[in-house]
Amino acid sequence: MLNSARRRTSGWKAASLGLIAALAAGAAPAAAQDHVGQYEQADIEFGARLYDANCVQCHAESGDAVAGVDLASGVYSRAGSDPELMGLLRAGIPGTAMPPNEFTSGELTGLVAYLRTMRDVDLSAVTLGDEAWGEALFAGRGACASCHRVFGEGSRVAPDLSAIGAVRTAAYLQESLLDPTGSMLPVNRPVRAVLGDGTVLTGRRLNEDTYTIQMIDQDERLRSLEKAGLRELTAGAESTMPPATDALDDQEVADVLAYLLTLKGL
């Protein structure tokens, strides 16, 4: 059901190859830079997968297969900082083989994390999972669809994840799977409202101002409530989502993470 929404790596493979080569062209001599610990492992692994799918056939795993280019140096004359490097990856460089590209923020984070650390990363140790199996786990044993919605399928009780891979990094998504409460955004805190007649509503807050609150209740109904008419209104401090490891092993969590990273919206 989601094939039409999957990222097509082949469509921008050639552009990315030219992009990386142009980025490194004129790079300063390789310098011994220590990037260990500066980037999250999940982002590095995601970036390694992107690099492997789009760049390795010309640049090789070592990053130095093109004459005069050493991607593994982590030093580029046109981009001294990570934001500058992301800007070049997205905007390209006029007059060179590097065109603009529609990378998501999560993809840019991954690519930069990998480029900056590739001399220290063993590609054989990359553990990002299988996205097809992750999709099956999401809908099946992981029970993610019992709360989350993807492209019109699933529940509305928890946030819609149809474009989550476009707006969140691999590291953030991994943390959300492993520690839902610790990574929960304030807007996603569960709420409990007691109406004037004693009816108890629980659910997900959508919006709130001084006088009203809008929420999706436990029956997936949209509610707009006047605060003055409520007996009680509280926001929970703990996520209603259990850690993914309660139902899945480490490899299966990696599979679900790989699947979530493919969700870029329609």
> 105-117 and 82-91 are packed helices; what angle lies between their axes, rounded to 10 degrees?
120
pLDDT at position 79, please? 78
CATH number of the domain at 3-125, out of 1.10.4080.10, 1.10.760.10, 3.30.499.10, 1.10.1370.40?
Answer: 1.10.760.10
How many angstroms from the chain centroid is the CA of residue 45? 12
pLDDT at position 15, please? 42
Q: For residue 223, give the amino acid letter.
A: R
- 3-state helix/strand/coil string of 43-61: HHHHHHHHHHHHCHHHHCC
Selection from 239, 221, 230 nearest residue 181 by Cα? 239
Selection from 164, 162, 175 nearest residue 239 by Cα? 175
> Model confidence over 116-139: pLDDT tens digits?
888 876 655 556 789 999 999 999
The mean-pLDDT minimum among 18-32, 83-97, 239-253 falls in 18-32
Domain ranges of the chain: 3-125, 131-184+242-260, 190-234
CA pair distance 62, 46, nearest whole angstrom: 17
Note whether 6 and 262 are within 8 A (CB): yes
Share of the chain above pLDDT 90, in %: 43
pLDDT at position 36, please? 47
Please give the span between the terminal C-alpha atoms of the chain, in angstroms, as a whole number.
12
Topology, domain 190-234: SH3 type barrels. (2.30.30)
pLDDT at position 223, please? 95
pLDDT at position 96, please? 65
Model-level pTM?
0.66
Q: Is it true that 131-184+242-260 and 190-234 share their CATH fold?
A: no
Topology, domain 131-184+242-260: Cytochrome Bc1 Complex; Chain D, domain 2 (1.10.760)
Where does the pLDDT of residue 186 fall: very low under 50, low under 70, confident under 90, or very high at 90 and above? confident
Alpha-helical (H) ranges within the chain are 13-24, 41-54, 56-59, 82-91, 105-117, 131-139, 164-167, 170-178, 250-260
